[in-house]
Amino acid sequence: MKLGGYLFAILCLCPILAHADIYKAVDENGHVTYSSTPLKGGKKIILEPLPTMLPPAQPQENFPRVDSETQRSRDDTRRKILQDELNAEEKLLEVAQQNLKDGEANPEVFKGADGRTYRNVAKFDAKIKQLNDQVDLHQQNVAALKAELSKFKSE
């Protein structure tokens, strides 16, 4: 137990021991050398402590405040904008879902050298992936707008 106490005391003194003077020397070629021990022709550098600022104890009195009626008006405007965006995004989602349904119903085909019609699976898969990505994007936008609107109802 005594060993732990001594070790603790030594560790507490380490920051005090870490303080050292700094010396700067410039040789005839202009090379600058810094050292923690005095150098021939070197000068001791005295570093001023870094400035610190304390946070303000209280909010500033001159900080502009908005009255509740103005804030309510701003909230109503924001709610209306979000609702309009949600309505537009839901319409775009419907269009994207219809485009996906139409794309799935119309496979990509091409005529072969023999005159027969073949399915172009790679082109069809790329088209369906792009249409699915559009549907996913609009679904995410709708979900984000609904989440933002839900914040108004809980407040």
Domain range summary for the chain, segments of one domain joined by +: 2-45, 68-154
The mean pLDDT value of the chain amounts to: 84
- The mean pLDDT of 114-143, rounded to a whole number, is 92
- The mean pLDDT of 50-60, rounded to a whole number, is 75
Q: Could you give the CA distance from residue 106 to residue 112 in angstroms, rounded to a whole number? A: 18
Q: How confident is the model at residue 63, as a pLDDT?
A: 73
pLDDT tens-place string over residues 56-103: 777 667 777 888 899 899 999 999 999 999 999 999 999 999 999 999
Q: How confident is the model at residue 9, as a pLDDT?
A: 64
pLDDT tens-place string over residues 13-23: 555 555 678 88
Of 129 and 46, the structure prediction assigns the larger pLDDT to 129
CA-to-CA dists, residue 103 to 93, 98, 121, 130, angstroms: 15, 8, 13, 10
Q: How confident is the model at residue 4, as a pLDDT?
A: 67
Beta bridge partners of 35: 23
Q: How confident is the model at residue 98, as a pLDDT?
A: 96
CA 124 to chain centre: 36
Of 36 and 14, the structure prediction assigns the larger pLDDT to 36
